[in-house]
């Protein structure tokens, strides 16, 4: 059992004490104090079940996949492809051949930019993004439009951190030149949950030919996601934010798009036949998985999905919503503290960014200084621009502190956070 005392039973009925016991790192002490891990939007901790699945692979059936006919290879291939089926079922993707394993969401977006974008985006075309995008869903498109002579456009946000998506405004942004619309499902800074199903529908009504990519890195780990209901052309997320290991992510893409797209990387595994002068590509999804994949990582991701499925994603969402409501209430009691994003917890995920400000509303304690003081109390938070520098400029701040929750966090941890924030204010005489 971890060191943090769990006094309050969540409304979901989840046994948080039992869940926390599955995460060995929560037994750590930082500067002599129990670890309070509130940096889950950056990466989540891993339960024993995921760690054990990786160890089991390396100890008992370590072999390469797909090509071997010996027992170990067949067992590894079976486990690897079983994880692909688990991913497809978890996000309701339908055909598991529409699930491509990559290193992370960043690689997935780059794959789309390279394999689809360089074929389909032409000079004068437009790509529509939003003001709240992570750099991973911005920089690849910057490079693409600069290379091809296309143009980026942006959907702005309002004062509540929500997209300004009225029909009039959207009609001005989505035109016949729009070839791709790419946006986040949940903001990693504001916590804003975008109404993705409605956005997809509105875009298709305005331009049926425009393709749609959604970054689900902050959504899939925390709520029920149904690809077939949302109906995007591309959807990406990463394993390490959902209890899985680092180095494994997922690209979902519609089958007809994957079949037309050229491979991102070339070499072994992604080929069907190779001659001296030419080659033919493997079937989907394997034509996008060149070389030996992260077999252990994929198996670990499958174990993470099993773990989350056992808890139930509705329970995960309700637990985080309860924590978010509590955190917003307690942070509102702290003088000189401002939060960013929607006030309604129904419209935000378990992410809260904030700053300590002076009487003029300017940042009074730099988030890096605040994070250092919080760390001295055992509280792990995030500080900086959170890979969203354009959003920082929109908010007119240099950086922000950020807390983010997961299934093992508690209200008692938020209480300790608040006490640590008050300590930082005293140090800075605020």
pLDDT in tens, 92-142: 999 999 999 999 999 999 999 999 999 999 999 999 999 999 999 999 999
Percentage with pLDDT > 70 across the chain:
97
Residues 164 and 122 in one domain: yes
Domain C-terminal end among 245, 277, 309:
309
Within a domain: 41: no
Residues 335 and 418 in one domain: yes
Backbone angles phi, psi at 35, to 5 degrees: -65, 130
Does the pLDDT at position 82 exceed 50? yes
pLDDT of amino acid 376: 97
Average pLDDT on 59-71 reads 93
Domain C-terminal end among 258, 283, 309:
309
Within a domain: 45: no
DSSP state of 116: I
pLDDT of amino acid 284: 78
Residues 139 and 258 in one domain: yes
Domains of the chain: total: 2
Residues 282 and 376 in one domain: no
Q: 304: domain range?
A: 52-309
Residues 286 and 246 in one domain: yes
Residues 328 and 359 in one domain: yes
Within a domain: 245: yes
Greatest Cα pair distance in the chain: 73
pLDDT of amino acid 345: 87
Residues 267 and 358 in one domain: no
Within a domain: 5: no
Does the pLDDT at position 390 exceed 70? yes
Residues 258 and 199 in one domain: yes
Residues 302 and 322 in one domain: no
Residues 149 and 233 in one domain: yes
pLDDT in tens, 404-413: 999 999 999 9
Does the pLDDT at position 353 exceed 70? yes
Domain C-terminal end among 258, 277, 309:
309
Band the pLDDT of 271: cuts 50, 70, 90: confident
Cis status, amide bond into 285, omega within 30 of 0 = yes
Average pLDDT on 263-282 reads 81
Within a domain: 87: yes
pLDDT of amino acid 398: 95
pLDDT of amino acid 4: 47
DSSP codes, 217-258 = TTTTTTS---HHHH--SEEEEESTTTTS-TT-EEEEE-HHHH
Residues 87 and 226 in one domain: yes
Average pLDDT on 142-171 reads 94
pLDDT of amino acid 7: 47
Within a domain: 278: yes
pLDDT of amino acid 11: 62
> Is 191 in contact with 341 (CB distance < 8 Å)?
yes
Within a domain: 418: yes
Stretch among 41-50, 83-92, 157-166 having the lowest mean pLDDT: 157-166
Please enumerate, as own/partner, the contacts of 121-125 that have beta carbons within 8 Å and a separation of 24 or more. 121/145, 121/148, 121/150, 121/179, 121/180, 122/148, 122/150, 122/179, 123/148, 123/149, 123/150, 124/149, 124/150, 124/151, 124/177, 125/150, 125/151, 125/177, 125/178, 125/179
Q: Which residues are catalytic?
A: 387
Does the pLDDT at position 387 exceed 80? yes
pLDDT of amino acid 1: 34
> Is 248 in contact with 298 (CB distance < 8 Å)?
yes
pTM above 0.85, yes or no: yes
Residues 79 and 185 in one domain: yes
Within a domain: 258: yes
Stretch among 29-33, 216-220, 234-238, 277-281 having the lowest mean pLDDT: 277-281
Does the pLDDT at position 242 exceed 70? yes
**Domain CATH number, residue 346:** 3.90.1150.10
Percentage with pLDDT > 90 across the chain:
87
Average pLDDT across the chain, whole number: 94
> Is 211 in contact with 233 (CB distance < 8 Å)?
yes
**Domain CATH number, residue 123:** 3.40.640.10
> Is 341 in contact with 183 (CB distance < 8 Å)?
no
């Amino acid at each position: 059992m971890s060191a943090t005392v769990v006094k309050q039973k969540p409304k979901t009925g989840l046994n948080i004490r039992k869940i926390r016991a599955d995460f060995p790192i929560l037994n750590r002490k930082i500067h002599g104090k129990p670890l309070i891990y509130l940096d889950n939007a950056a990466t989540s901790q891993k339960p024993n079940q995921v760690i054990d699945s990786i160890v089991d692979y390396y100890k008992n059936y370590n072999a390469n996949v797909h090509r071997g006919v010996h027992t170990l290879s067949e067992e590894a291939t079976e486990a690897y492809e079983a994880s692909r089926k688990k991913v497809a079922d978890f996000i309701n993707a339908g055909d598991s051949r529409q699930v491509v394993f990559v290193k992370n969401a960043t690689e997935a977006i780059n794959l789309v930019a390279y394999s689809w974008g360089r074929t389909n985006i032409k000079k004068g075309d437009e790509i529509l993004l939003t003001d709240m995008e992570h750099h991973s869903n911005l920089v690849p498109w910057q490079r693409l439009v600069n290379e091809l002579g296309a143009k980026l456009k942006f959907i702005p946000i309002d004062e509540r951190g929500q997209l300004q998506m009225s029909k009039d405004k959207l009609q001005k942004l989505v035109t016949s030149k729009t070839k791709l619309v790419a946006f986040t499902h949940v903001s990693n800074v504001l916590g804003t949950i975008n109404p993705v199903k409605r956005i997809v529908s509105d875009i298709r009504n305005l331009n049926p030919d425009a393709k749609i990519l959604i970054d689900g890195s902050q959504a899939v780990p925390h709520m029920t996601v149904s690809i077939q209901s949302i109906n995007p052309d591309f959807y990406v997320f990463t394993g390490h934010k959902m209890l899985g290991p680092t180095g494994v992510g997922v690209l979902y893409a519609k089958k007809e798009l994957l079949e037309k797209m050229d491979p991102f990387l070339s070499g072994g595994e992604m080929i069907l036949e190779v001659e001296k002068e030419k080659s033919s590509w493997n079937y989907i999804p394997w034509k996008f998985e060149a070389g030996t994949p992260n077999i252990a990582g994929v198996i670990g991701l499958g174990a993470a999905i099993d773990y989350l499925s056992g808890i139930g994603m509705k329970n995960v969402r309700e637990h985080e919503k309860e924590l978010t409501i509590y955190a917003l209430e307690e942070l509102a009691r702290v003088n000189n503290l401002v939060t960013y994003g929607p006030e309604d917890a129904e419209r935000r995920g378990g992410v809260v960014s904030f700053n300590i400000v002076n009487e003029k509303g300017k940042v009074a304690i730099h988030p890096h200084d605040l994070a250092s003081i919080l760390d001295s109390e055992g509280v792990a938070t995030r500080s900086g621009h959170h890979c969203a520098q354009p959003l920082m400029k929109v908010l007119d701040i240099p950086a922000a502190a950020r807390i983010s929750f997961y299934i093992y966090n508690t209200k008692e941890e938020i209480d300790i956070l608040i006490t640590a924030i008050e300590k930082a204010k005293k140090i800075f005489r605020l």
